[in-house]
């Protein structure tokens, strides 16, 4: 079958391409920006790529066109697709029908931690010899790729609540029908799609309705928004985790006071299951690890074996990834773009480096950040840093300087990215807090 993918260079659609090729299909695709590393990865698999969205790419007609959610009405290729009556579908719908229908799906949903938790879960299953398939919104260092077909029956997916396609405004994750569902946390995000938190909660309620009664929901028991979602209707078994424990929580963790959480004990009903020491830091990653361990346990991997796997977990690209060190200055790359994620990431780093100087550099790149939804929370999220550099791109629509004002002289706001980089490089030197 010839599968043509529109918007192929996005992380999710690129993963669809990898899986379709592994399943034996001829795969082609197009995108507005065809560039490395995704373009190189896809071409190495024998996938033909076209730059742009012109109608000629549909000649000769493919058997099915998979439409990414970056595509809109008015694009020449979309108008030609509809005018000619060619068969088309969305990425999530294609994946559900072609791959997931006969698989045990382990889906990880939530505002934060989907990529990290999915990566941990896939690695636990791999370490146990189960060779899972997966589609993850990042590249786990243990695998070196973001997607693979894997072997039956297990398939791990980072289950995104973003909309599916221009013709299907449901959340992506309602297509996946998981048997094991992780609910990490729930906050307001995707302001370009959802008007408020209640609208996102409704999508999560729809997701719960797709989990069979014999399935399992692994839920953050410390999140009041998730508690409200579950209270609206739940027909499956639930296991709750929370770093600090609490009422109704089965799984918790114990770490030394003021630690960076690179070493902690896992507890079930207050009894120790073993200790985890790993290269990952941050309280949020303790929650991620608990979720992955409990989800893997539902798939048949004992907690002790899961802990053994995570001791060898290497992390995820762009999740506190050390990119290099020069003249005593270490540079980390992190994807955090929501105030909660920014704050927890900086907290973990502060616990790791102690009194060493932390300089945070942030670009408001997500749609929600660009719309200014989180501007009031931005300064507090960055408060752990000793110095903050903020890029204020043209036509942002809100005042970055005003948002950064509570940080005082620690904050630097620059409208030109090249200028920001020059000023930042010229001011850097290793140091410690006084």
| pLDDT above 90 coverage of the chain, percent | 66
- The first and second tokens of residue 39, run together, are 């373009």
Instruction: Decide: 204 and 223 in contact? Cβ < 8 Å.
Output: no
- Mean pLDDT within 142-161: 94
Please give the sequence-ordered ranges of beta strands (E in DSSP) within 114-247, or none if there are none: 133-135, 147-148, 154-158, 163-165, 168-171, 180-183, 216-220, 237-241
pLDDT in tens, 166-220: 999 999 999 999 999 999 999 988 878 899 999 999 999 999 999 999 999 999 9
- In 3D space, the residue among 43, 34, 46, 45 whose CA is nearest the CA of residue 10 turns out to be 34
pLDDT at position 430, please? 65
For 319-377, the pLDDT digits (tens) are 878 888 888 888 888 877 788 888 888 988 888 888 889 999 988 877 777 777 888 88
Q: Is the pLDDT of residue 394 over 90?
A: no
Cα distance between residue 18 and residue 20, in whole Å: 6
* Tens-digit pLDDT profile for residues 247-297: 899 999 999 887 899 999 999 999 999 999 999 988 899 999 999 999 999
pLDDT of residue 428: 67
> Is pLDDT above 70 for 431?
no
Give the model's pLDDT for residue 362: 87
C-beta neighbour count of 51 within 10 angstroms:
13
**What is the maximal distance between C-alpha atoms in the chain?**
69
The token pair at 215 is: 């399935």
CA distance 362 to 339: 11
* 46, pLDDT greater than 60: yes
Are 370 and 338 in contact, with CB atoms under 8 Å apart? no
In Å, how far from its chain's centre is CA 38? 17
Percentage of the chain lying above the pLDDT 70 cut? 98
Task: Write down the pLDDT at residue 338.
Answer: 80
pLDDT averaged over every residue in the chain: 92
The phi-psi region of residue 233 (left if phi > 0; otherwise alpha if psi is between -120 and 50; otherwise beta) is left
Q: What is the DSSP string of 11-34?
A: HHHHHHHHHHHHTT-EEEEEESS-
Q: At what angle do helices 197-208 and 224-231 cross, to 10 degrees?
A: 50
Cα separation, 245 vs 383, in Å, equals 27
Tell me what pLDDT residue 368 has.
Answer: 74
The pLDDT of residue 289 is: 97
Q: What is the pTM of this model?
A: 0.89
Domains of the chain: 2-90 (3.40.50.720), 99-310 (3.40.1190.10), 321-427 (3.90.190.20)
Is 77:6 a contact under the CB 8 Å cutoff?
Answer: yes
CA dihedral 335, 305, 109, 240 (to 10 degrees): -120
């Amino acid at each position: 079958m010839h599968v043509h993918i529109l918007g192929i260079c996005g992380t999710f659609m690129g993963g669809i391409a990898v899986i379709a090729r592994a399943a034996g299909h001829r795969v082609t695709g197009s995108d507005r920006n065809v560039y490395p590393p995704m373009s190189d990865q896809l071409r190495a698999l024998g996938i033909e790529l076209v730059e742009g969205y012109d109608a000629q790419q549909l000649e000769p007609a493919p058997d099915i066109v998979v439409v990414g959610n970056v595509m809109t009405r008015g694009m020449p290729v979309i108008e030609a697709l509809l005018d000619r009556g060619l068969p088309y579908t969305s990425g999530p719908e294609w994946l559900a029908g072609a791959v997931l229908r006969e698989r045990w799906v382990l889906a990880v949903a939530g505002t934060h931690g989907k990529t990290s938790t999915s990566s941990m879960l896939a690695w636990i299953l791999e370490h146990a010899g189960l060779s899972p398939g997966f589609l993850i919104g990042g590249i786990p260092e243990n695998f070196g790729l973001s997607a693979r077909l894997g072997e039956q029956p297990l398939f791990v997916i980072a289950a995104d609540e973003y909309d599916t396609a221009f013709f299907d405004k449901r959340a992506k994750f309602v297509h996946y029908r998981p048997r094991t569902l992780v609910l990490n946390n729930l906050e307001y995000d995707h302001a370009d799609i959802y008007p408020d938190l209640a609208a996102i909660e409704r999508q999560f309620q729809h997701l719960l309705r797709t989990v069979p009664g014999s399935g399992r929901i692994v839920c953050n028991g410390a999140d009041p928004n998730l508690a409200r979602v579950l209270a609206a209707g739940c027909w499956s078994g639930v296991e709750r985790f929370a770093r600090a424990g609490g009422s109704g929580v089965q799984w918790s963790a114990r770490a030394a006071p003021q630690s960076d959480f690179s070493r902690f004990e896992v507890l079930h009903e207050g009894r120790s299951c073993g200790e985890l020491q790993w290269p990952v830091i941050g309280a949020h990653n303790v929650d991620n690890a608990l979720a992955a361990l409990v989800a893997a346990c539902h798939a048949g991997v004992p907690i002790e074996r899961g802990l053994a796997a995570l001791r060898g977990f290497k992390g995820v690209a762009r999740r506190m990834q050390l990119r290099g060190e020069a003249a005593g200055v270490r540079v980390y790359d992190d994807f955090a773009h929501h105030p909660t994620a920014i704050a927890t990431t900086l907290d973990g780093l502060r616990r790791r480096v102690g009194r060493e100087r932390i300089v945070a550099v942030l670009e408001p790149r997500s749609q929600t950040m660009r719309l200014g939804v989180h501007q009031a929370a931005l300064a507090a999220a960055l408060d752990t840093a000793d110095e903050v550099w903020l890029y204020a791109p043209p036509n942002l629509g809100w005042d970055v300087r005003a948002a950064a004002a509570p940080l005082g002289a620690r904050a630097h706001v620059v409208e030109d990215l090249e200028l920001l980089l020059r000023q930042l490089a010229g001011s850097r030197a290793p140091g410690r807090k006084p």
